[in-house]
Amino acid sequence: MLSCRDTAKMISDGSMETTGFFGKLFLRLHLMMCSNCRRLLKQIGLIGRLAREQAAAERENTPVPEGMEKRIVDRICGGGKGKG
């Protein structure tokens, strides 16, 4: 039987995705009985979603600098310094 500590580790380090059949079964049984670990699972999922949303919002507000791609192509094809 998994302890809450074992379950928290599996939820947080990603091993819940890669564990075998019995690992997933024990995890599911534990989560059925433990509201604290269910809350942890929900929070870890929430943190990932919020980070994606925050990054998407920041990326939308920070456009790629104008002419950046041309400066890079000039630098790597022409051997110039590029930036500036």
Partner 1 sequence: MNFSDPDFLDRVRKKDPEALTAVVHAYGKQIFRAALGAGLREDEAEEAVQETLTAFVQNIARFEGRSHIRTWLFGILYNKIAESRRKRKKSEAHDSIDDVIESRFDSNGHWIRPPRDVEEIFNDGELRAMIGECLEGLSEKQKNAFVLKEVEGFPTMEICEILDVTGTNLGVLLYRARNGLRECLESKGVERG
Interacting residue ranges for partner 1, rule: CB under 8 A: 3-6, 8-9, 12-15, 18, 36-37, 39-40, 43-44, 46-48, 50-55, 57-59, 62, 64-65, 68-69, 71-73, 75-77, 82-83
CB of 19 to partner 1, least distance (A): 11
CB of 9 to partner 1, least distance (A): 6
Closer by beta carbon to partner 1, 4 or else 25: 4
Q: How many residues does the chain have?
A: 84
Say if residues 24 and 33 touch (Cβ distance below 8 Å): no
Burial 11-30 (b: 16+ CB within 10 A, else e): beeeebeeeeeeeeebbeeb
